[in-house]
Amino acid sequence: MTRIYSYSQPIDSDIVDGFCLLQKGFTDQFVYYDKQSANRYMGLGRCIALPQMEGVEYEIEGPIDQPPVFFSFNRFDAENPKATDELFEAFPRLKFMLPEVVLVENERGRMLQVNSLSPVYPGRIARFARQVAGAPRRERVTVPFTLERDSREQWRAEVDAALSAIRSGRVDKVVLSRRQRLLAEHPFSSKDLLVNLIDGDARGTVLLYRYADVFFCGCTPELLVRKRGQQLESMCLAGTCPASEDPDRARELASELMADEKNRAEHEHVVHFMREVLGRICHDVRIPREPQILSLRHVQHLHTPVSAKVLEGVNLPELVGDLHPTPAVAGTPVGEAKMLIRQIESYNRGFFAGACGYIDGAGDGAFSVGLRTGVFDGEGGWVYAGCGIVEGSVADDEFDEIDMKLKTILSAFGE
Ligand SMILES: C=C(O[C@@H]1C=C(C(=O)O)C=C[C@H]1O)C(=O)O
């Protein structure tokens, strides 16, 4: 039986500043940082990685009873035989990773957690607490970059292939993506992108997984599932129109989106899937009949909030397994759409559109869908975005929609 010692104590300092100061010394770094609510977890180092959450004993110590916080970053399609690019290839294939140090800000306040396989030495906790308390205020930096444009011609051919699969009845919807090569004008760090995503105006949850000199990061609007006790929260997010700085224009675009049959159909596939999956493993499933608008910095989406009570015995990793991928990032039917993505897309998505999140030793946690993200090595990398293709989709419009979505990860460069 693995025994894990976990010590948590309250802190006053800003956890992002603390993370920025401490991060230099750690090969493994993990962030799940909800910008809208205090649901923020930032991990450093690797105490242990487990293939599953069962079979572990915890010694929880310190003035706050916070179970140890594990992180988990999962590929969109882990069985896809196509090789990922060399950046994704450089990440170890680990499931639940427990950092040595975790900075937390949640409904119970801010805290520092230190995890170890042996009793936690008090001087170690005091040293981290001192360092975090003395952390200087972080600063934003702009990283100029260039993008290598991908081919519109190739995209049109891919959308054609998707539309013929739809016409032949193989799928009703498939979500295709594009990726672009990014080259920075000077070296940058994961911290530079993290700070711009957290302090910039992108809405959503900031994700970061760094291993040595490669890192995956972004700011996603899409919650896959959050579990606290038996309470479950999720969302359906599909259907997109542009955002606008002019509030009247933004409202006009939003009401066009609400009235647009194609977007409503794209959205309905996700709602149907949620109802079906949650109906099997939850009770009190609440899904409003009509979507709302979620207005983000660069786009607006059709959004349906979801809540439910999880049946006794159903755990968070099972929920993630049942819910991911949703038709919002794969298509419908999900299995067939995944196979079609393997056929049509020329690359393996890696963590893009994968389930990324955290889970604590009590089984509570949250996972988001790794959208509006990219993978980088400090000199450049790849940025990704996709969109749902249904009957009636026009390739050039979808190309432009993806360009709008890409702006979120590009905002990590501080422009
Ligand atoms: C696939 C992405 O976004 C997904 C697709 C959407 C759509 O097709 O309208 C909207 C939100 C997301 O569920 C992405 O951002 O890359």
User: Is the per-residue pLDDT at 155 higher than 80?
Assistant: yes
Q: What is the mean pLDDT of the chain?
A: 97
Q: How many CA atoms lie within 13 A of 147 on its CB side?
A: 16
| Res 415 pLDDT > 80 | no
Cβ distance 118 to 33 under 8 Å?
Answer: no
Give the residue, by CA position, lying nearest to ligand 1 atom 2. Answer: 386
| pLDDT recorded at residue 1 | 84
240: Cβ below 6 Å to ligand 1?
yes
User: Mean pLDDT, to the nearest integer, of 304-328?
Assistant: 97
pLDDT for 262-297, tens place per residue?
999 999 999 999 999 999 999 999 999 999 999 999
Distance 289 CA to ligand 1 centre (A): 20
| Residue to probe by mutation, ligand 1, list 237, 256, 375, most atoms within 8 Å of CB | 237
Give the predicted TM-score (pTM) of the model.
0.97
Q: Is the CB of residue 176 below 6 angstroms from any atom belonging to ligand 1? A: no
| pLDDT tens figures, 319-376 | 999 999 999 999 999 999 999 999 999 999 999 999 999 999 999 999 999 999 999 9
42-82 tens-digit pLDDT: 999 999 999 999 999 999 999 999 999 999 999 999 999 99
Nearest C-alpha to atom 6 of ligand 1 is from which residue?
238
Single-letter code of the amino acid located at 246: D
> Average pLDDT, stretch 8-13?
96
β partners of residue 227: 232, 365
Give the three-state DSSP class for 58: strand
Mutation choice for ligand 1 from 240, 262, 271, CB with most ligand atoms inside 8 A: 240
- Find the 327 Cα to ligand 1 centroid distance in Å: 10
Q: Which residues are tagged catalytic?
A: 173, 222
* Interval between CA 37 and ligand 1 midpoint (Å): 22
**Atom number of ligand 1 nearest to Cα 352:** 16
Mean pLDDT of the 95-111 span = 97
The residue to mutate among 76, 174, 301, 404, having the most atoms of ligand 1 within 8 angstroms of its beta carbon, is: 301
For 73-118, give the secondary structure using H, E and C.
Answer: ECCCCCCCCCCCCHHHHCCCCCCEEECCEEEEEECCEEEEEEEECC
Q: Measured from the CB, is residue 222 less than 6 Å from ligand 1? A: yes
372 CB near ligand 1 (under 6 Å): yes
Separation of alpha carbons 339 and 399, rounded Å? 22
Q: How far apart are the first and last CA of the chain?
A: 50
Q: Is the CB of 385 under 6 A from ligand 1?
A: yes
Cα atoms in the Cβ-side hemisphere of radius 13 Å centred on 31: 28
For 18-49, the pLDDT digits (tens) are 999 999 989 999 999 999 999 999 999 999 99
Q: 300 alpha carbon to ligand 1 midpoint, in Å? A: 10
Domains of the chain as residue ranges with CATH = 2-133 (no CATH), 145-188+229-351+364-413 (3.60.120.10)
b or e along 64-97 (b: 16 or more beta carbons within 10 Å of the residue's beta carbon)? bebbbbbbbbbbbbeebeeebeebbeebeebebb
Q: What is the pLDDT of residue 25?
A: 84
Contacts of 22 (CB under 8 A, 6+ apart): 44, 101, 128, 131, 132, 135
Query: pLDDT class for 378, splitting at 50, 70, 90?
Result: very high
Spacing, Cα 164 to ligand 1 middle (Å): 21
Residue 392 has pLDDT above 70, yes or no: yes
Atom of ligand 1 nearest to the CA of 238: 10
Residue 388 CA: nearest ligand 1 atom is 8
| Residue 130, SS3 per DSSP | helix
Q: Is the CB of 328 under 6 A from ligand 1?
A: yes
Q: What is the pLDDT of residue 151?
A: 95
Ligand 1 pocket check for 301: Cβ under 6 Å = yes
Does residue 304 contact residue 236 with C-beta atoms inside 8 Å?
yes
Cα 363–chain centre separation: 19
Distance from residue 368's CA to the centre of ligand 1 (Å): 13
Residue located via tokens 């949650």: 278
- Would you say residue 161 has pLDDT above 70? yes
Residues 6+ away with beta carbon under 8 Å from 15: 40, 42, 103, 104, 105, 110, 132
Per-residue pLDDT, averaged over 152-180, amounts to 98
Q: How far is the CA of 33 from the centre of ligand 1 (A)?
A: 20
Report H helices in 260-333: 261-281, 316-323
